[in-house]
């Protein structure tokens, strides 16, 4: 039986959506609203051969959801809203409450709002997106898909910070990790392509935000983001791990508030902060190629940090079978992949330069012990699959028939 499932990703001024026909995993419509709340939002829709872009006066997520659903009806993408059986929402933070994607009822929605303390920018907006679609599609099952849930399998020793224990008890300060939906998707896709489940995978999600995840037999056992997505790797504008006493040092010298320091570490650091050029990896690569020292330095720092984490996670899992590259940089930047894999031959990681330049799915040298894969991520599809699994309770075998 065919189900129409909507995947929704609500940001503070944006709303991305993709409507799937499941279990065929066929996209019926996809697009986004940008600049929501500015008075003139930009709406982009792709449905079959049709493409549409329009400026529309929308102020919030409710109006965007209404506009989207009315447009899908008008354009005949769906003949009735009743046909949409499920809606899956990306939710930034599931805390320790949500260990997997979950059906959302009133109690779960309250829980998501409570977790706003841990994700003040994202969870309230995610909850608004959920309410907006619930109002128009009360018959559909609603499922929350949490960025943190996949990492709930990390051990206590792996998720605790060596701070006084009461901070964990009082405020929930621990490693949560993010990008879980993406790491899970690429790991499952790769395991499917290889026809094996018992793999030790190191997944590198390298986009504007970046994180590495160690996946042993399908379970996340370590990840580089932490209490917040600021931790771990160097990113487009985020510093990642630094000596924790640096913020206090700068605060004293420059009389800055905690909020100002967070702003510097989140938005003015990383590739942008070091290069002084851009947060966009393409700009940094071309500046480095034209001989700009700080751009080249930023790339070396970026890739060195990824290499260190790969080394650490190979240790964590007593070896590695597969390294996966995904997201904007991981999928497209052959030069970055080459730099990351430099000097990792001792682990069995050996890139084939030619396959790498051609962006093939498997880019390791013939006979190399470790598989290196380039797998495009697809968080929206993972969300739709989870609506089928936990919302409509259709096991995966059934989902993939027909």
Among 125, 327, 374, 388, binds ligand ADP (CB under 6 A): 327
Interacting residues of 334 by C-beta distance below 8 A, sequence separation 6+: 356, 357, 359
Each residue 336-365 as x (binds ligand ADP by CB under 6 A) or -, in order, gives: ------------------------------
Determine, following the binding rule CB under 6 A, whether residue 100 of this chain makes contact with ligand ADP: no
**Which residue in 78, 251, 264, 285 binds ligand ADP (CB under 6 A)?**
285
The 232-271 site mask, x for binding ligand ADP (CB under 6 A), equals: ----x-----------------------------------
Sheet with 219-223, strands from edge to edge, namely 219-223, 210-216, 200-206, 322-326, 371-374
Residue tagged active-site, from 147, 216, 321, 386: 147
Question: CB under 6 A: which stretch of 49-57, 131-139, 186-194, 276-284 binds ligand ADP?
Answer: 276-284
Decide: is 376 part of the binding site for ligand ADP (CB under 6 A). no
Smallest separation, CB 375 to ligand ADP (Å): 13
Asked whether 270 and 236 are in contact (CB, 8 A), the reply is yes
Contact between 60 and ligand ADP per CB under 6 A: no
Does position 158 interact with ligand ADP (CB under 6 A)? The reply is no
Asked if residues 69 and 33 have their Cβ atoms less than 8 Å apart, the reply is no
Which token pair is 269?
């650091």
The answer to whether 329 contacts ligand ADP (rule: CB under 6 A) is: yes
Taking contact as CB under 6 A, which single stretch among the options 3-11, 150-158, 321-329, 365-373 is the one that binds ligand ADP?
321-329
- Our CB check for ligand ADP shows the closer of 13 and 63 to be 13
Q: Among residues 71 and 181, whose Cβ is nearest to ligand ADP?
A: 181
**Is residue 230 part of the contact set for ligand ADP (CB under 6 A)?**
no
User: How many other CB atoms are there within 10 angstroms of residue 255's CB atom?
Assistant: 8
Which range in 23-31, 45-53, 159-167, 281-289 contacts ligand ADP by CB under 6 A? 281-289
Region of 83-91, 114-122, 278-286, 341-349 interacting with ligand ADP (CB under 6 A): 278-286
Taking the least distance from each CB to ligand ADP, the nearer of 15 and 141 is 15
Three-state SS annotation for the chain: CCEEEEEEEECCCCEEEEEEEECCCEEEEEEEEECCCCCCEEEEEEECCEEEEEEECCCCHHHHHHHHHHHHHHCCCCCCHHHEEEEEEEECCCCCCCCCCEECCHHHHHHHHHHHHCCCCCHHHHHHHHHHHHHHCCCCEEEEEECCHHHHHCCHHHHCCCCCCHHHHHHCCCCCCCCHHHHHHHHHHHHHHHCCCCCEEEEEEECCCEEEEEEECCEEEEECCCCCCCCCCCCCCCCCCCCCCHHHHHHHHHCCCHHHHHHHHHHCCHHHHHHCCCCCHHHHHHHHHCCCHHHHHHHHHHHHHHHHHHHHHHHHCCCCCEEEEEHHHHHHCHHHHHHHHCCCHHHCCCECHHHHHCCCCECECCCCCCEEEECCCCHHHHHHHHHHHHHCCCCHHHHCCC
Query: What is the smallest separation between the CB atom of 276 and ligand ADP, expressed in angstroms?
Result: 16
Quick one: 60 or 280, whose CB is closer to ligand ADP?
Answer: 280
353 as an active site residue: the answer is no
- How far apart are CB 59 and ligand ADP at their closest, in Å? 24
| 207 interacts with ligand ADP by CB under 6 A | yes
The site that binds ligand ADP (CB under 6 A) totals a number of residues, namely 13
- Told to check if 209 binds ligand ADP by CB under 6 A, we report yes
Residue 213 touching ligand ADP (CB under 6 A)? no
The correct pick among 333, 363, 370, 372 for binding ligand ADP (CB under 6 A) is: 333
The residue ranges that bind ligand ADP (CB under 6 A) are 207-209, 236, 280-282, 285, 327-329, 332-333
The residues carrying an active-site annotation are 147
């Amino acid at each position: 039986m065919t189900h129409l499932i909507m995947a929704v990703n609500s940001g503070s001024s944006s709303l991305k959506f993709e409507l799937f026909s499941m279990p065929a995993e066929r996209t019926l419509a996809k697009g986004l609203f940008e600049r929501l709340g500015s008075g003139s939002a930009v709406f982009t829709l792709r449905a079959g051969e049709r493409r549409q872009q329009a400026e529309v006066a929308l102020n919030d997520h409710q109006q965007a959801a209404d506009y989207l659903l009315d447009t899908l009806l008008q354009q005949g993408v769906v003949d009735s809203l009743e046909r949409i059986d499920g809606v899956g929402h990306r939710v930034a933070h599931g805390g320790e409450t949500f260990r997997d994607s979950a059906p959302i009822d009133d109690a779960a929605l309250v829980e998501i709002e409570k977790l706003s303390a841990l994700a003040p920018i994202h969870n309230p907006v995610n909850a608004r997106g959920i309410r907006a679609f619930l109002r128009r599609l009360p018959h559909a099952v609603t499922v929350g898909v949490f960025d943190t849930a996949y990492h709930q399998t990390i051990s206590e020793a792996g998720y605790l910070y060596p701070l006084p224990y009461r901070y964990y008890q009082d405020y929930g300060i621990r490693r949560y990790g993010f990008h879980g939906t993406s790491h899970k998707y690429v790991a499952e896709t790769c395991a499917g392509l290889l026809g094996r489940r018992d793999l030790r995978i190191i997944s590198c999600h390298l986009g504007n935000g970046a994180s590495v995840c160690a996946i042993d037999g399908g379970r996340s056992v370590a990840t580089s983001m932490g209490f917040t997505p600021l931790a771990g790797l160097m990113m487009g504008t985020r510093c990642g791990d630094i000596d924790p006493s640096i913020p206090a040092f700068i605060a004293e010298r420059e009389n800055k508030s905690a909020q100002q320091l967070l702003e510097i570490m989140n938005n003015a650091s990383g590739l942008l902060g070091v290069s002084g050029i851009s947060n966009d990896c393409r700009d940094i690569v071309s500046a480095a190629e034209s001989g700009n020292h700080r751009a080249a330095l930023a790339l070396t720092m970026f890739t060195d940090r990824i290499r260190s984490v790969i080394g650490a996670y190979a240790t964590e899992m007593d070896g590695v079978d597969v390294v996966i590259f995904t997201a904007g940089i991981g999928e497209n930047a052959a030069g970055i992949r080459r730099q990351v894999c430099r000097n990792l031959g001792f682990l069995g990681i050996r890139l084939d330069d030619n396959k790498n330049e051609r962006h093939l799915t498997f880019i390791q040298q013939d006979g190399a012990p470790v598989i290196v894969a380039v797998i495009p991520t697809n968080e929206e599809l993972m969300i739709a699959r989870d609506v089928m699994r936990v919302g409509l309770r259709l096991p995966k075998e059934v989902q993939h028939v027909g």
